[in-house]
C-alpha cells in the first residue's frame, strides 16, 4: 500500500507538529481579535514560563499533574478506550492520598507515608475507574458515557464527604485539617538546598520525580511486556485480538485500573505536595487537560512529557500574560488547550492525506 512509503518522521513528527502549529495560529488570531499583539503575548508567555527559576518551578509543577493525567488518558487510548473520567479519578485518588496522610501524619515518618500514599492514591483512583471499566467490559455500556457520569458522581461525593465528615471544625470553607509536616512531600527547593543549589521557592515537589518514574513504567509496560502487546492489539483491532486468544474484557478492566491509578496520582502533587490538606476542586480541570496532553504527545511517554511541559508553560505563562496585559484572562490558555484538542485530535485527518501525498510522490519520482 501507499502508506508504507511515507517516511516515519513525517507521520511521527511533521504532521503532529503542523497540527499543533495550526492550533497556535488560530490562538494567535484570537489574541489579535482581542486587539493585542500575539507576538508580544507569546513573549510574555515564554518569559513567564521559562524566564526565571520560580517560573520554571511553577511550569514543572503544573506539568507534573498533566503528566499523570496525560499518561492516564494515553494508556486507555492505546487500548482503544477513551477515559474521559480522569477528572473524577484524580479527585477520588486525591481523597485516597489525603486519607492516608490524615491517618498517619502524626504517627509515622515521611518514608513510610510516601509509599502508602502512593498506594492510597492508586487504589482510590483505580477503584473509581473500575465500575465504568467493568460495565464496559462485561455489560457493554460505553465507557465514555459512564466515565462522564462518574466525574459528576465523584464531585458530589467529595462535596458530601468534605462538608459532612472531613471538614475541620470551626472552618468556614470545607477544608480538612492541615497535615503534620511529616506528611508533606519535600519541595524541590528544599531538596536541592543541601547540595548547594539555590532556587527560588515554588510548588514544584518530589511528585515530579514520581511522574517521571510513571512515564518509564508506562513505556516499559506498553512496549516491552506481553501484556502491553495484548493491550496494543486490542487497541488496533479488537476482533483480531479476540481471535488471537486475548481475553479482551479482562485486559480492558486492567487498562482502566491502571489509567485510573495514574490519574489518582494527581493527589500526590496537589494534596500531599502543595495544599497539605484535603479540599474541594483541587483537580481544576487537569483531567480534561490530560486529553489534550495525550493527543499532542501522540500517546507516547516522551511526547507526553514534552506536551505536559508545554501545557504547564501555558498555564504558568498564562498568569504572567494576564498580569502584563490585563485585557487577556488566564482562560485564554483553556482556549489554546481546546484548539490543540481540535486540531491534533478531531481534525488530525484534515491535512494528513495531503502532506503524505506530497512525500509519496517524491519517493516515487
Partner 1 sequence: MFETLILILDATMRVSTPLILAALAGLFSERSGIVDIGLEGKILGGAFAAAAAASVFGSAWVGLVFAMLASIALALIHGFACITHRGDHIVSGVAINTIVAGLTVTLGLDWFGMGGQTPNLSGDERFLSITFPFADALADVPVIGLIYSELLSGHNILVYIAFICVPVTFWAIYKTRFGLRLRAVGENPHAVDTAGISVAFLRYRAVIICGILCGLAGAYLSTAHNAGFLKDMSAGKGYIALAALIFGKWKPVPVLFACLLFGFLDAVAVRMQGVSLPGIGEIPVQAIEVLPYVLTVLLLAGFIGKAIGPKAVGRPYVKERA
List residues binding partner 1 (CB under 8 A).
30, 34-35, 82, 84, 131, 135, 139-142, 144-146, 148-150, 152-153, 156-157, 159-160, 164, 288, 291-292, 295, 327-329, 331-339, 341-342, 345-350
Name which of 147 and 205 has its Cβ closer to partner 1.
Answer: 147
Contact assessment for residue 241 and residue 234, using Cβ atoms and an 8 Å cutoff: yes
- CB of 149 or CB of 191, closer to partner 1: 149
Q: Which is nearer to partner 1, 132 or 228 (CB)?
A: 132
The least CB distance from residue 348 to partner 1, in Å, is: 7
- Cell numbers describing residue 48: 513567564
Which residue's CB is nearer to partner 1, number 57 or number 303? 303
Residue closer to partner 1 by CB (options 116, 153) is 153
Q: How far apart are CA 53 and CA 63, in angstroms?
A: 15
3-class SS at 205?
strand
Q: Provide, rounded to whole angstroms, the least separation between the CB of residue 96 and partner 1.
A: 19
Q: Which residues contact 16 (CB under 8 A, 6 or more apart)?
A: 296, 298, 344
C-alpha cell at 85: 473520567
Residue 171 Cβ vs partner 1, minimum distance, rounded to whole Å: 19
User: Which of 159, 242 has the CB closer to partner 1?
Assistant: 159
Are the C-beta atoms of residues 207 and 265 closer than 8 Å to each other?
yes
* Closest CB 342 distance from partner 1, rounded Å: 4
Least spacing, CB of residue 151 vs partner 1, in Å: 8
Shortest distance (Å) from residue 185 CB to partner 1: 29
Q: Of 18 and 34, which has the nearer Cβ to partner 1?
A: 34
In this complex, which beta carbon is closest to partner 1, that of residue 218 or of residue 332?
332
- Please, what is the minimum distance in Å from the beta carbon of residue 331 to partner 1? 4
Distance of CA 267 to the CA centre of its chain: 12
Residue 289 and residue 339 in contact, taking contact as beta carbons nearer than 8 Å? no
* 273-276 LR contacts (CB < 8 Å, sep 24+): 273/184, 273/185, 273/187, 273/203, 273/205, 273/206, 273/207, 274/61, 274/203, 274/205, 276/178, 276/179, 276/183, 276/184
CB neighbourhood size of 230 (10 A): 21
Residue 308 neighbours by CB under 8 Å, 6+ apart: 63, 64, 66, 67, 70, 293, 297
- In terms of DSSP H, where are the helices of the chain? 8-9, 15-33, 38-50, 53-78, 86-104, 110-139, 143-161, 188-192, 207-224, 226-236, 238-243, 248-264, 266-267, 286-296, 301-324, 332-340, 348-364
Provide the minimum distance between the beta carbon of 328 and partner 1 in the complex, in angstroms, as a whole number.
Answer: 7
Amino acid at each position: 500500500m501507499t502508506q508504507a512509503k511515507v517516511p516515519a518522521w513525517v507521520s511521527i513528527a511533521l504532521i503532529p507538529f503542523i497540527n499543533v502549529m495550526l492550533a497556535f495560529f488560530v490562538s494567535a488570531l484570537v489574541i489579535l481579535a482581542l486587539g493585542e499583539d500575539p507576538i508580544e503575548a507569546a513573549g510574555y508567555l515564554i518569559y513567564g514560563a521559562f524566564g526565571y527559576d520560580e517560573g520554571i518551578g511553577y511550569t514543572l509543577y503544573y506539568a507534573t499533574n498533566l503528566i499523570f493525567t496525560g499518561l492516564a488518558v494515553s494508556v486507555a487510548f492505546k487500548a482503544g478506550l477513551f477515559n474521559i473520567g480522569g477528572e473524577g479519578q484524580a479527585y477520588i485518588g486525591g481523597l485516597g492520598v489525603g486519607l492516608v496522610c490524615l491517618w498517619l501524619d502524626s504517627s509515622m515518618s515521611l518514608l513510610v507515608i510516601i509509599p502508602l500514599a502512593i498506594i492510597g492514591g492508586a487504589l482510590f483512583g483505580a477503584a473509581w475507574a473500575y465500575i465504568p471499566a467493568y460495565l464496559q467490559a462485561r455489560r457493554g455500556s460505553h465507557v465514555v458515557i459512564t466515565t462522564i457520569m462518574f466525574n459528576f458522581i465523584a464531585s458530589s461525593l467529595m462535596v458530601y464527604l468534605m462538608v459532612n465528615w472531613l471538614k475541620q471544625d470551626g472552618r468556614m470553607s470545607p477544608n480538612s485539617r492541615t497535615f503534620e509536616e511529616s506528611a508533606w512531600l519535600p519541595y524541590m527547593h528544599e531538596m536541592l538546598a543541601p547540595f548547594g543549589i539555590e532556587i527560588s521557592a515554588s510548588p514544584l515537589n518530589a511528585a515530579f520525580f514520581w511522574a517521571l518514574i510513571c512515564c518509564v513504567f508506562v513505556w516499559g509496560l506498553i512496549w516491552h511486556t506481553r501484556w502491553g502487546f495484548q493491550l496494543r492489539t486490542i487497541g488496533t483491532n479488537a476482533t483480531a485480538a479476540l481471535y488471537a486468544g486475548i481475553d479482551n474484557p479482562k485486559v480492558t478492566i486492567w487498562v482502566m485500573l491502571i489509567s485510573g491509578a495514574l490519574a489518582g496520582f494527581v493527589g500526590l502533587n496537589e494534596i500531599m505536595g502543595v495544599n497539605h490538606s484535603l479540599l474541594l476542586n483541587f483537580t481544576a480541570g487537569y483531567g480534561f487537560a490530560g486529553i489534550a496532553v495525550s493527543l499532542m504527545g501522540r500517546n507516547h511517554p516522551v511526547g507526553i512529557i514534552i506536551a505536559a511541559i508545554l501545557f504547564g508553560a501555558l498555564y504558568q505563562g498564562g498568569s504572567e500574560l494576564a498580569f502584563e496585559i490585563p485585557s487577556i484572562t488566564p482562560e485564554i490558555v483553556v482556549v489554546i488547550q481546546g484548539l490543540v484538542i481540535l486540531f491534533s485530535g478531531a481534525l488530525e485527518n484534515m491535512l494528513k492525506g495531503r502532506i503524505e501525498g506530497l512525500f509519496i510522490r517524491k519517493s516515487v519520482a
